């Protein structure tokens, strides 16, 4: 049963990272650097929660969370694609805008906890009739609808990027925009599209936190740094959706283990001894683990991409102007 609970936590914890990570992959594959995922997720979480509370419909909240993040993505696209400004600076600035707006709009939303309509969960009670294994499967499959949506979008994103003509155009504008332009592909137009689309996906990830998976509480900083973890996962994934999904779900396992280690009696039936670092004065070591993991996977991903000469889009971070040769 413990294994099923751990896998269930991996699915739920990984899902909130999955959408932000995929948004980063789509945007950066087009050649536009995306460091604003945290701001997109914060804005999506705040707007979706507020709209769900005011309309009574969490699906409208989910939609508006995506739309609000997409609008912020337009700002990033204007700065990077049209004005051709530094993409790192633009990403950080856009992130600050999303964070600031969320702080203002979400300041009083915590009082609505317990009163906001939430996205539904899916469960299969018939599994309980099949003994301990069926009970384990029941707890594994009893997930918020966003978990199932996340599982569905992984193969779709992989197929789109690797097997379709639009996906080929997307990879082309990130690898060699000059050649793509010569073939008649609208480089800057598509960069707008995928910057906005990537922002919307990250906004959905934020909504998954506030009105879906972690919906028992809310604060204006409810994303809690997960957007930056998504940035690291994009690098670890080498811009590949399946690899990124595996990293996201592993992070979900790690997050659950951190919680279990704080209460050793819940870990493997209480068979684990209580080491010194689980003392209440030292548990901050455990809370550092997810972020240490992010640094490790970034290093692994960067080194792997460098050695294999794959992964990073060649034109990532470089604005494109027709008639100018890439530097």
pLDDT at residue 310 tops 70:
no
Q: What mean pLDDT comes out for the span 188-208? A: 96
User: In this structure, are residues 98 and 75 in contact, taking their beta carbons and an 8 Å threshold?
Assistant: no
pLDDT band at 283 (very low <50, low <70, confident <90, very high): low
DSSP conformation class of 261: H
| pLDDT greater at residue 277 or residue 205 | 205
Q: What mean pLDDT comes out for the span 272-289? A: 56
Rounded (5°) CA angle 61-64-65: 85
Ranges assigned E (strand) in the chain = 121-122, 143-144
Query: Mean pLDDT highest for which of 158-172, 269-283, 288-302?
Result: 158-172
3-state class (DSSP) for residue 122? strand
Distance between CA 191 and CA 204 in Å, rounded?
20
pLDDT reported for residue 327: 47
Distance between CA 61 and CA 77 in Å, rounded?
24
Distance between CA 94 and CA 39 in Å, rounded?
7
pLDDT at residue 184 tops 60:
yes
Q: What mean pLDDT comes out for the span 249-270? A: 66
3-state class (DSSP) for residue 271? coil
pLDDT reported for residue 271: 45
- High-pLDDT (> 70) share of the chain, %: 82
pLDDT reported for residue 179: 93
| CA quadruple 156, 161, 162, 164: dihedral, nearest 10 | 80
pLDDT reported for residue 311: 64
Poorest-pLDDT segment among 152-166, 219-233, 300-314? 300-314
Over the chain, what is the mean pLDDT?
Answer: 85
Give the residue among 251, 176, 187 at the shortest CA–CA distance from 21.
Answer: 251
Q: Is the pTM of this model over 0.85?
A: yes
Residue indicated by tokens 């548990």: 283
How many residues does the structure list for the chain? 327
pLDDT at residue 86 tops 80:
yes
User: In this structure, are residues 214 and 207 in contact, taking their beta carbons and an 8 Å threshold?
Assistant: no
Rounded (5°) CA angle 112-117-118: 110
pLDDT at residue 58 tops 80:
yes
User: In this structure, are residues 68 and 94 in contact, taking their beta carbons and an 8 Å threshold?
Assistant: no
Give the residue among 281, 213, 215 at the shortest CA–CA distance from 252.
Answer: 213
Poorest-pLDDT segment among 6-20, 186-200, 233-247, 264-278? 264-278
């Amino acid at each position: 049963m413990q294994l099923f609970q751990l896998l269930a936590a991996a699915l739920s914890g990984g899902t909130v990272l999955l959408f932000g990570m995929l948004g980063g992959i789509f945007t950066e594959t087009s050649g536009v650097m995306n460091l604003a995922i945290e701001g997109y997720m914060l804005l999506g979480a705040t707007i979706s929660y507020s709209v769900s509370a005011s309309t009574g419909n969490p699906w409208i909240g989910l939609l508006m969370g995506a739309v609000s993040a997409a609008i912020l993505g337009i700002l990033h696209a204007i700065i990077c694609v049209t004005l051709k400004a530094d993409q790192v600076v633009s990403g950080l600035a856009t992130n600050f805008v999303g964070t600031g707006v969320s702080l203002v709009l979400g300041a009083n939303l915590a009082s609505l906890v317990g009163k906001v309509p939430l996205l539904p969960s899916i469960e299969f009670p018939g599994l309980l009739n099949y003994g301990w294994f069926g009970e384990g499967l029941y707890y594994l499959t009893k997930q918020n609808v966003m978990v199932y949506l996340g599982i569905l979008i992984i193969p779709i994103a992989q197929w789109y990027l690797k097997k379709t003509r639009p996906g080929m155009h997307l990879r082309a504008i990130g690898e060699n925009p000059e050649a793509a332009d010569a073939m008649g592909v609208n480089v800057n137009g598509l960069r707008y599209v995928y910057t906005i689309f990537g922002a919307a996906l990250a906004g959905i990830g934020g909504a998954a936190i506030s009105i879906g998976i972690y919906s028992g509480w809310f604060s204006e900083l409810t994303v809690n740094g997960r957007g930056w973890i998504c940035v690291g996962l994009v690098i670890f994934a080498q811009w590949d959706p399946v690899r990124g999904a595996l990293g996201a779900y592993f992070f979900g396992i790690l997050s659950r283990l951190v919680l279990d280690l704080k209460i050793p009696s819940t870990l493997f039936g209480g068979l684990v001894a209580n080491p010194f670092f689980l003392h209440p004065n030292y548990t901050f070591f455990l809370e550092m683990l997810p972020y240490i993991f992010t640094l490790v996977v970034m290093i692994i991903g960067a080194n792997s991409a460098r050695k294999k000469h794959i992964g990073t889009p060649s034109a990532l971070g470089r604005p494109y102007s027709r008639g100018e040769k890439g530097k």
